[in-house]
Structure 1
């Protein structure tokens, strides 16, 4: 049976997994995760003090079950209306250090497939990030 977590925890699992995808969790990625938890309305009922324990839970699941286990938890724990939010948060974390590695792209593909996201919506989310993080 797949573990079920709160929707907020599932979104944190997505962000932590995205940060860990290239096996290097950068300071900018970790700061981005904290920033998103502090500022987004979807986290308004989430106690910020739980961010570290939830991140550790995700890391343990990654270590013991792998990415597939995390994605299964995310799918069963998130309401469908937050699927695109999860993808957008993954994109934000990937873009935080202004470079997206191949392993991160692979995670995004796996997330998109697990959540059965529409390719047009995915393209719009990705385009929005490219525009926001564009350099001069």
Structure 2
């Protein structure tokens, strides 16, 4: 498996979070695009590469090393200072449809473990995402 850039690694983690329940919804795909369009960390990412990066992730997931290999590759590509940002992006995608399925929870736990995200940081990310995604009804 080739190495990834830090931004490609973050996109891989978002794709993994979205695809974890075998159903990449339009809402989740739109959230990936929104994160890429609005988060400062992605300001140098060429948006026209998104589909090919997502396809690369899908191919790697079906490859010999599977999910564990993709997680390891993504973690290796990310500087430590971006671990919480990468987890926040993945959580944002998984939580956007306001339904956290068991498969999504499991994948987020794997990402958290691979990136060595502490419990307090996870709690802050979860709370922030819930506040952003909350509606009046």
1:53 aligns with 2:52: yes
Partner Cα distance (2:130, 2:43) in 1: 27
Aligned residue for 2:103?
103
Q: Which residue of 2 aligns with 1:88?
A: 88
List runs of 5+ in structure 1 lacking aligned partners. none
Q: In the alignment, which residue of structure 1 is the partner of 2:42?
A: 43
Structure 1 CA distance, aligned partners of 2:94 and 2:34?
14
Post-superposition, which runs of at least 4 consecutive aligned residues in structure 1 deviate over 3 A? none
> TM-score by structure 1 length?
0.95
2: CA distance, partners of 1:129 / 1:46: 23
Distance in 2 (CA, whole Å) between partners of 1:77 and 1:101 is 27
Measured in 2, the distance between the counterparts of 1:45 and 1:35 equals 15
| Distance in 1 of aligned mates of 2:134 and 2:39 | 22
- Structure 2 unaligned blocks of 5 or more: none
2:129 is equivalent to residue 129 of structure 1: yes
Q: Residue 57 of structure 2 aligns to a residue in which SS? A: helix
Per the normalisation by structure 2, the TM-score is: 0.94
Number of aligned residue pairs: 135
* Alignment deviations for residues 89-124 of structure 1 (CA, whole Å, 9 cap, x no partner): 011101121211100000010011111111111111
Distance in 2, matches of 1:51 and 1:132, equals 24
